[in-house]
């Protein structure tokens, strides 16, 4: 019997070697399928690869990845009309109708491994075939409840080598090869702007420690000297997180890592910060989003500006870099408020910790977004736009939209400049627009570790940035 041939495609995954290809590849190969993986952020998708496939599955973990998949979907349908097409990942169920209009037969969520086995090896032809998972997806107007899987180690064979992905830039100028993995999936929080919320609905899944360590071990054997944990929140399960980092440090002396943790978890689990430092954590990414308490309430972030400032102090005292991310342009942003944001970053001495793109991001309102629960957002947005996969919106004050566009221009023109220099230009522009005096803040001269591809999510980076990807 000839094995089924699956082609798994990733278009963009924040500069990381895609876990979302490696994990289902392992499941499919165990089930007897032939699997080919293509990361089009690193390699071109070849016609022969499309022609050979019985099933083509697109991994859609984020908004940019979904938009970049659109022309490839059309190409697959044109070159191999007999192939069954699937889409999986966080943004697949959020854009189910759009995907089906483009010939996608199987729309699968982020817990996709068993579903893909059912489709490729089990012969499921459509989402309304008698498979419990497919039937659940077809019977709901929104994303179906996520499955609970017992994951095993991913298979990264056939993917581009780790040195072709984002590198860790150290303060002394040295670079480290970066691996990435997941210790948990989903999130137990309900931040309104987060795409995880309408899919996971306040739940999260723990990946077994042995599975995580097997993946880490394989990547270190392949040259990784730093591991980036892709969990939406590493401290959703603090005991699990502790077990992971203790095992990592015990087995791999000198290998560093980074994690993402909510501000409220940094405060609640402050006693774990020294452990993170001692086990090799170089920096913690935290989605601060705003320094305006009213905006934080609207986003349902669960922290205040004062909480953010306290977290900065706690991380600094523990010797771990805190890397805040922001969504500075929202329907509630004011010119004065934006100037206050840059002043706060200066006052807290976080200029080096903030990637310039974080000062240009505009709030993204996607299909199924909980932001639409807010009456002022529902009244502001236009009809859903299939080209951008968003509900477009314009700020009530046109000066704010103009400022965002100017900040984005500074960021995209400053790719090869220092963070401090780009920040200085943004801060000068913000103060000019706000009509406030310049602040003479001396530069700290401190350098911090960071990944060579800036992190952003839940927001619209703008067409200028997407053109660079």
Regarding whether 396 and 300 lie in a shared domain, the answer is: yes
What pLDDT is stored for residue 175 in this prediction? 97
CB 287 within 8 A of CB 234: no
Question: 437 falls in which pLDDT band (50, 70, 90)?
Answer: confident
Looking at the domain assignment, is residue 156 inside a domain? Answer: no
| Mean pLDDT of the region 444-459 | 72
Regarding whether 110 and 200 lie in a shared domain, the answer is: no
Q: Over 70: is that where the pLDDT of 15 sits?
A: yes
Q: Residue 74 phi/psi, 5° resolution?
A: -65, -40
CATH number for the domain that contains residue 115:
3.40.50.280
Regarding whether 226 and 194 lie in a shared domain, the answer is: yes
CB < 8 Å & 24+ apart, contacts of 374-382: 374/192, 374/298, 376/331, 377/331, 380/331
What pLDDT is stored for residue 140 in this prediction? 42
Looking at the domain assignment, is residue 148 inside a domain? Answer: no
Least confident of 14-28, 147-161, 201-215: 147-161
Q: What is the DSSP string of 392-460?
A: ----SSHHHHHHHHHHHHHHHHTTTS-HHHHHHHHHHHHHHHHT-----PPP------EESS----SEE
What pLDDT is stored for residue 455 in this prediction? 52
Regarding whether 50 and 121 lie in a shared domain, the answer is: yes
CATH number for the domain that contains residue 356:
3.80.30.20
C-alpha span between 420 and 183 (Å, rounded): 33
The DSSP symbol for 145 reads: P
Environment class of residue 29 by beta-carbon count within 10 Å: exposed (0-12), middle (13-18) or buried (19+)?
Answer: middle
Q: Over 80: is that where the pLDDT of 4 sits?
A: yes
CA distances from 140 to 135, 172, 230, 440 (A): 9, 53, 28, 56
Strands 204-206 and 184-186 turn out to be: antiparallel
Regarding whether 120 and 181 lie in a shared domain, the answer is: no
Strands 167-169 and 175-181 turn out to be: antiparallel
Regarding whether 180 and 81 lie in a shared domain, the answer is: no
Regarding whether 242 and 283 lie in a shared domain, the answer is: yes
Regarding whether 232 and 195 lie in a shared domain, the answer is: yes
Host domain of residue 398: 162-466
C-alpha span between 90 and 196 (Å, rounded): 7
Q: Over 90: is that where the pLDDT of 233 sits?
A: yes
Looking at the domain assignment, is residue 441 inside a domain? Answer: yes
Measured from the Cβ of residue 380, the count of other Cβ atoms closer than 10 Å reads 17
Looking at the domain assignment, is residue 64 inside a domain? Answer: yes
Q: Tell me which of 138, 154, 178 is where a domain ends.
A: 138
C-alpha span between 249 and 239 (Å, rounded): 16
The DSSP symbol for 234 reads: G
What pLDDT is stored for residue 133 in this prediction? 42
Q: Residue 268 phi/psi, 5° resolution?
A: -70, -30
Q: Tell me which of 138, 172, 194 is where a domain ends.
A: 138
Regarding whether 110 and 179 lie in a shared domain, the answer is: no
Q: Over 80: is that where the pLDDT of 403 sits?
A: yes
Count: domains in the chain: 2
Regarding whether 447 and 332 lie in a shared domain, the answer is: yes
Q: Residue 380 phi/psi, 5° resolution?
A: -90, -35
Q: Tell me which of 123, 138, 153 is where a domain ends.
A: 138
Regarding whether 97 and 208 lie in a shared domain, the answer is: no
Name the helix (H) or strand (E) containing 73.
Answer: helix 63-79
Regarding whether 375 and 238 lie in a shared domain, the answer is: yes
Q: Over 90: is that where the pLDDT of 134 sits?
A: no
Looking at the domain assignment, is residue 83 inside a domain? Answer: yes
Looking at the domain assignment, is residue 144 inside a domain? Answer: no
Looking at the domain assignment, is residue 151 inside a domain? Answer: no
What pLDDT is stored for residue 469 in this prediction? 29
CA distances from 65 to 41, 173, 388, 399 (A): 10, 30, 12, 30
pLDDT in tens, 308-363: 999 999 999 999 999 999 999 999 999 999 999 999 999 999 999 999 999 999 99
Question: 145 falls in which pLDDT band (50, 70, 90)?
Answer: low
Helix/strand/coil for 226: strand
């Amino acid at each position: 019997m000839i094995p089924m041939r699956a082609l798994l495609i990733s278009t963009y995954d924040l500069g990381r070697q895609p876990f979302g290809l490696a994990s289902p590849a392992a499941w499919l190969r165990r089930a007897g399928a032939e699997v080919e993986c293509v990361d089009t952020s690193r390699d071109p998708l070849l016609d022969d690869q499309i022609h050979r496939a019985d099933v083509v599955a697109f991994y859609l973990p984020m908004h940019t990845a979904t938009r970049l998949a659109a022309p490839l979907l059309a190409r697959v349908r044109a070159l191999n009309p007999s192939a069954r097409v699937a889409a999986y990942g966080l943004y697949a169920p959020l854009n189910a109708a759009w995907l089906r209009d483009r010939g996608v037969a199987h729309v699968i969520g982020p817990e996709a491994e068993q579903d893909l086995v059912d489709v490729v090896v089990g012969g499921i032809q459509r989402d309304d075939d008698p498979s419990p998972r497919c039937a659940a997806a077809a019977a709901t107007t929104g994303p179906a409840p996520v499955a609970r899987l017992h994951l095993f180690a991913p298979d990264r064979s056939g993917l581009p080598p780790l040195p072709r992905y984002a590198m860790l830039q150290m303060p002394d100028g040295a670079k480290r090869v970066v691996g990435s993995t997941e210790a948990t999936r989903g999130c137990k929080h309900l931040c309104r702007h987060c795409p995880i919320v309408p899919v996971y609905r306040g739940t999260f899944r723990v990946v077994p420690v042995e599975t995580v360590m097997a993946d880490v071990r394989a990547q270190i054997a392949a040259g990784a000297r730093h591991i980036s944990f892709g969990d939406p929140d590493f401290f959703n399960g603090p005991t699990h997180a502790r077990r992971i980092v203790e095992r990592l440090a015990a087995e791999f002396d000198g290998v560093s890592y980074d994690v993402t943790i909510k501000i409220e978890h940094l405060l609640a689990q402050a006693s774990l910060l020294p452990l993170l430092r001692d086990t090799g954590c170089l920096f913690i990414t935290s989605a601060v989003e705003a320094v305006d308490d009213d905006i934080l309430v609207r986003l349902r972030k669960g922290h205040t500006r004062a909480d953010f400032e306290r977290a900065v102090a706690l991380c600094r005292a523990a010797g771990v870099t805190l890397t805040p991310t922001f969504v500075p342009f929202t329907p509630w942003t004011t010119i004065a408020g934006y100037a206050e944001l840059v002043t706060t970053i200066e006052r807290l001495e976080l200029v080096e910790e903030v990637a310039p793109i974080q000062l240009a991001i505009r709030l993204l309102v996607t299909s199924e977004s909980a932001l639409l629960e807010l009456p002022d957002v529902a009244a502001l947005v236009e009809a859903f736009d299939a080209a951008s996969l968003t509900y477009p919106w314009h700020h009530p004050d046109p000066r704010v939209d103009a400022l965002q566009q100017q900040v984005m221009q500074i960021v995209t023109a400053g790719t090869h400049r220092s963070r401090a220099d780009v920040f200085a230009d943004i801060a000068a522009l913000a103060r000019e627009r706000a009509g406030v005096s310049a602040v003479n803040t001396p530069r700290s001269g401190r350098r911090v570790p960071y990944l060579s591809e800036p992190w952003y999510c839940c927001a619209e980076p703008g067409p200028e940035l997407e053109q660079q990807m």
